[in-house]
Chains A and B, each alone.
Chain A
Amino acid sequence: AQSVTQLDSQVPVFEEAPVELRCNYSSSVSVYLFWYVQYPNQGLQLLLKYLSGSTLVKGINGFEAEFNKSQTSFHLRKPSVHISDTAEYFCAVSDHQAGTALIFGKGTTLSVSS
């Protein structure tokens, strides 16, 4: 079984500052890793995913994440945030079996202020 730990429940940051949202996972098998964003009362939108290959993954809206197998981490970063990045961010993991559910972390609320 897999599990995900998002270390920060809330991250307040000023506009144009860099941000890192932390995610650690636990699994006995190889995994795929994902970051999703959720705006109020909406579903989830995929920001980026790690499947294999390069450990630095670039996603939409200027976000990127780095897979670190030795530290079992997949932290999300953005060099300069905007007010519009204020949302809930979820890290998720799944094994390599086709058609299995994603397991989510508890989420991190990113609040960007001016």
Chain B
Amino acid sequence: GAVVSQHPSWVICKSGTSVKIECRSLDFQATTMFWYRQFPKQSLMLMATSNEGSKATYEQGVEKDKFLINHASLTLSTLTVTSAHPEDSSFYICSARSARSVDTEAFFGQGTRLTVV
């Protein structure tokens, strides 16, 4: 199946700094990518939908100025957590889905464990 690569797999940063997470679709063009956040022992909460070449669509309650999403090409989307605080510590997972209607499966990155100290 298709591969989505997410980097880094884990990161520790100091409070107040920014962290960038990359999500790449390695063998297909992902017009749309999705960013999820997962708290311990909980489900994946959709944060935003990222469309190539346009602004991301954020879910209600997600601060767009804090979680900056850029989808500059058909194979790369980035999530930048700005001015990170300990409450931003979480597991972040990206997902990519082909724009072709026959490709209904969503492929997931391996996730990024962010710890803000």
Q: Contact: B108 with A101, CB < 8 Å?
A: no
Q: Contact: A102 with B95, CB < 8 Å?
A: yes
Q: Contact: B43 with A105, CB < 8 Å?
A: yes
Q: Contact: A98 with B100, CB < 8 Å?
A: yes
Chain A positions 10-42 with a Cβ under 8 Å from a chain B Cβ: 32, 34, 36, 41-42
Q: Contact: B106 with A102, CB < 8 Å?
A: yes
Q: Considering only CB atoms and an 8 Å cut-off, how many residues of chain A contact the other chain?
A: 24
- Chain A residues whose C-beta falls within 8 Å of the C-beta of B49 in the assembled complex: 101
Instruction: Compute how far the CA of A43 lies from the CA of B95 in the bound complex, rounded to whole angstroms.
Output: 10
Q: Contact: A90 with B43, CB < 8 Å?
A: yes
- Tell me whether B42 is interfacial, beta carbon within 8 Å: yes
- Chain A residues whose C-beta falls within 8 Å of the C-beta of B113 in the assembled complex: 41
Closest to A51 in B: B104
- Chain B residues whose C-beta falls within 8 Å of the C-beta of A36 in the assembled complex: 108
- Chain A residues whose C-beta falls within 8 Å of the C-beta of B46 in the assembled complex: 101, 103
Name 5 interchain pairs, CB-CB below 8 A, sorted by A: A104-B36, A104-B43, A104-B44, A106-B42, A107-B42
